[in-house]
Amino acid sequence: MQKIEELPNRIVLKNVNKYYGKKQVLSDINLEINTGMFGLLGRNGAGKTTMMKAITSILSIESGEINVCNISQKNPKRIREIVGYLPQDFSMYPNMSVYEAMDYLGVLSGLDKKSRQKKIPELLEKVNLQENHHTKVKAMSGGMKRRLGIAQAILHDPRVLIVDEPTAGLDPEERVRFRNLLSEIAKDRIVILSTHIVGDIEATCEKIAIMEEGRIVFDGTVSRLLEQARGKIYEVTISRSEIDEMKQNYIITNMLMLSAEAKIRFIAENPETSMKAAVEAIPNVEDAYMYFMHRTGGDR
């Protein structure tokens, strides 16, 4: 058996399928993830959480293979040694203090007392909870809980960190802080970040995958996604009365209301002659995502 330090930093999914009853939730997933931040984008119900749970080994798969740093999903105990997981709805026992919650999860992560006593204060400082050692979990805000969540996920120094929609519900400042923290952690680890907030991806991820109805519909770099949308994103300023007609004919990615007018950003393969006033815009990740989803899955 290889030592943990000798394991390669790579996650490979091959022909992975998963069903909930008769419904197929993961369909023939093939993916390779290496060191750094990896973004997982997709609509609600696309299968992001399911795939992350499968990688974490807390959800079994019907067929296919998952290898996390050369460890097969058939060896969940070993996988859990090297994976840190922050679920979407993270919380802990309400009457525990922050320190106690970290201590408890530290024991469950296999850390001895000495390591916990050293690492817990360090990590709480890193996530800016150093003043909250004795704060009860039930008294924490959403942002504080997420920070506690990330701290517990990296307590045992995992090779892989899986965070499921970590910034949903956080204020802009918290969100930025969180992203920066994740970027720092991703220097020599695999960090898989699932989100439907495109801004998170834009700020932190070089490589992404897009999921739709249990399938990987895009797997590549952010720049390649942007490239696909080049020449398809336009901006135009129209009167408010024209907005409804605009919505019927185009997919609008952004709408900025200005007194009697509206500045619209939209997707078009070829804008019509009546849209002569439209100016080609440099696509951002959100535009590119919307364009991609429109092209592959239709508008919802």
Q: Interface mask (CB under 8 A) for other proteins, residues 17-46, using x and -?
A: x-xxxx------------------------
CB closer to other proteins out of 17 and 249: 17
Q: CA-CA distance, 202 to 72, in Å (whole number)?
A: 31
Q: What number of CA atoms fall less than 13 Å from residue 170's CA on the CB side?
A: 21
Of 86, 151, 190, 229, the one binding other proteins (CB under 8 A) is: 86
Q: Specify the DSSP element, H or E, that contains 93.
A: none
Q: CA-CA distance, 178 to 170, in Å (whole number)?
A: 9
Of 8, 32, 45, 110, the one binding other proteins (CB under 8 A) is: 110
Of 2, 63, 141, 180, the one binding other proteins (CB under 8 A) is: 63
Which residue is it, tokens 């364009």? 291
Choices 72-80, 203-211, 266-274, 289-297; region in contact with other proteins by CB under 8 A: 72-80
The string of DSSP letters for 122-179 reads HHHHHTT-TT-TT-BGGG--HHHHHHHHHHHHTTT--SEEEEESTTTT--HHHHHHHH
Q: Specify the DSSP element, H or E, that contains 242.
A: none
Residue 130 is encoded by which pair of tokens?
């150093």
CB closer to other proteins out of 189 and 232: 189
Which 140-169 residues touch other proteins, going by CB under 8 A? 149, 152, 156
Of 32, 62, 125, 272, the one binding other proteins (CB under 8 A) is: 62
Q: Does 103 bind other proteins (CB under 8 A)?
A: yes
Q: Does 90 bind other proteins (CB under 8 A)?
A: yes
CB closer to other proteins out of 76 and 121: 76
Q: Does 56 bind other proteins (CB under 8 A)?
A: yes
Residue 52 is encoded by which pair of tokens?
């992350």
**Does residue 237 contact residue 277 with C-beta atoms inside 8 Å?**
yes
CB closer to other proteins out of 81 and 213: 81
Of 29, 40, 71, 92, the one binding other proteins (CB under 8 A) is: 92
Choices 64-72, 100-108, 189-197, 234-242; region in contact with other proteins by CB under 8 A: 100-108
Phi/psi of residue 203, each to 5°? -80, -25
Residue 165 CB, shortest distance to other proteins, in Å, is: 13
CB closer to other proteins out of 108 and 279: 108
| Angle (nearest 5°) at CA 245 between 243 and 246 | 60
Residue 32 is encoded by which pair of tokens?
């390779």
DSSP annotation of 275: G
In terms of Cα–Cα distance, which of 69, 244, 73 is closest to 161? 69
Of 65, 107, 118, 272, the one binding other proteins (CB under 8 A) is: 107
Of 4, 7, 12, 59, the one binding other proteins (CB under 8 A) is: 59
Residues with Cβ < 8 Å from 75, sequence gap 6 or more?
Answer: none
- Binding residues for other proteins, rule: CB under 8 A, are 17, 19-22, 53, 56-60, 62-63, 76-77, 80-81, 83, 85-87, 89-96, 100, 103-105, 107-110, 112-113, 149, 152, 156
